[in-house]
């Protein structure tokens, strides 16, 4: 340990840069695994070869038509969920907050059920806009209700409003499911959360929203640090609290809405990844957000690959793998590390 705070600061910074590069490398490895592994295993060299030049071979078709779309989607969704989780936990100062909190999953689920039951939609491409609209409308309502006071949204009112509206929508959803077995039959496969069966079009439909969400998140990071000192301090430092909240919530809505629309509600990433990232970086959101994003990518891709491998030639859905494999890890983390207080 060095005694000068300046040096300590610099070494902490170097550690974080190294950590970030390490994570980036890990994400690249995860991408290669996602392209190479599955019912049929491809050698990394072969993956690389067909990636550079598609040649019409089986391997090329496998990579470009089946595995590339879900890998692209996995990267986008992992980034979105990891960053959104960190933003939500930062804004609500609630360490158990996850994207479900703002009513995003409940809103998207309800919209998908309506799409199936009322409009007879039964393809992923068809759900996307319903799910996205449901997620966005619900988050706007939750945010509007939770910010009813003149002070704008406080963490607790936001969380309570999300929970209340989420519970209402959940029961609407299940009343439709209970009375309509045909709807249940389609919905139960959407609600587990999966990257499978999506084509590149699906990915391109949501990526613009995720990109805008990431930009907003990056812009929100310094303000979030100031807000962490308490709203009064933030105000005294010249921070516009309502503006910071609106930007943050807009980013969260875009990120989680797009991710849920594309893949169904994938739990756990938004809850676990920020904790892990915080253990690596500390509470500075300028570092926390990129760490959480990359960790999200690694988590989603590895879970998807594992789901393809454990039950070959069938597969276990990404959302289920994340829940079953991520939870023990999370429990280990909670027991072992003294989680950084928000």
* Interface positions with other proteins (CB under 8 A): 94-96, 145-146, 148-151, 154, 156-157, 159-161, 163-165, 167-168, 170-172, 174-175, 177-178, 181, 184-185, 188-189, 191-192, 267-268, 271, 316-317, 319-320, 322-324, 326-328, 330-331, 334-335, 339
Q: What is the smallest separation between the CB atom of 92 and other proteins, expressed in angstroms?
A: 10
For residues 219 and 226, give the distance between their C-alpha atoms in angstroms, rounded to a whole number.
13
Report the residue number, 69 or 100, with the smaller CB distance to other proteins.
100
- Taking the CB of residue 158, how many other CB atoms lie within 10 A of it? 25
- Residue 337: CB minimum distance to other proteins, A: 11
CA distance 98 to 104: 10
Cβ 265 vs Cβ 111: under 8 Å: no
Least gap, CB of 232 to other proteins (angstroms) = 13
Count of alpha carbons within 13 angstroms of residue 296, beta-carbon side = 31
CB of 9 or CB of 331, closer to other proteins: 331
CB of residue 269 to other proteins, shortest distance in Å? 11
184 vs 262, beta carbon nearer other proteins: 184
Phi and psi, residue 211, nearest 5°: -60, -50
CB of 160 to other proteins, least distance (A): 6
**For other proteins, which is the closer residue by CB, 60 or 180?**
180
Q: Which C-beta is closer to other proteins: that of 35 or that of 158?
A: 158
């Amino acid at each position: 340990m060095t005694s000068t705070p300046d040096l300590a600061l610099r070494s902490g910074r170097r550690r974080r840069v190294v950590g970030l590069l390490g994570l980036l490398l890990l994400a690249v490895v995860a991408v290669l695994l996602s392209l190479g592994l599955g019912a049929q295993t491809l050698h990394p060299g072969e993956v690389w070869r067909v990636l550079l030049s598609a040649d019409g071979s089986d391997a090329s078709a496998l990579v470009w038509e089946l595995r590339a779309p879900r890998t692209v989607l996995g990267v986008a969704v992992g980034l979105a969920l990891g960053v959104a989780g960190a933003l939500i936990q930062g804004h609500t100062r609630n360490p158990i907050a996850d994207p479900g909190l703002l009513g995003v999953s409940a809103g998207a689920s309800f919209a998908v059920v309506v799409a199936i039951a009322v409009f007879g939609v039964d393809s992923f491409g068809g759900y996307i806009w319903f799910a996205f609209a449901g997620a966005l409308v619900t988050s706007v309502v939750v945010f509007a209700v939770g910010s009813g006071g003149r002070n704008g949204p406080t963490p607790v009112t936001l969380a309570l409003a999300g929970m209340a509206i989420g519970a209402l929508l959940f029961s609407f959803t299940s009343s439709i499911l209970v009375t309509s077995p045909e709807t249940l039959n389609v919905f139960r496969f959407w609600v587990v959360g999966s990257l499978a069966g999506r084509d590149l079009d699906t990915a391109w439909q949501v990526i613009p929203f995720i990109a805008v969400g990431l930009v907003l998140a990056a812009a929100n990071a310094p303000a979030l640090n100031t807000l962490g000192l308490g709203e009064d301090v933030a105000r005294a430092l010249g921070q516009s609290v309502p503006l910071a909240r609106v930007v943050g919530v807009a980013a969260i809505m875009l990120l989680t809405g797009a991710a849920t629309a594309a893949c169904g509600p994938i739990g756990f990433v938004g809850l676990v990844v920020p904790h892990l990232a915080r253990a690596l970086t500390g509470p500075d959101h300028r570092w926390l957000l990129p760490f959480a994003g990359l960790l999200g990518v690694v988590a989603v891709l590895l879970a998807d690959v594992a789901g393809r491998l454990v039950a070959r030639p069938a597969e276990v859905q990404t959302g289920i793998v994340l829940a079953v494999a991520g939870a023990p890890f999370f429990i280990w983390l909670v027991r072992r590390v003294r989680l950084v207080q928000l």
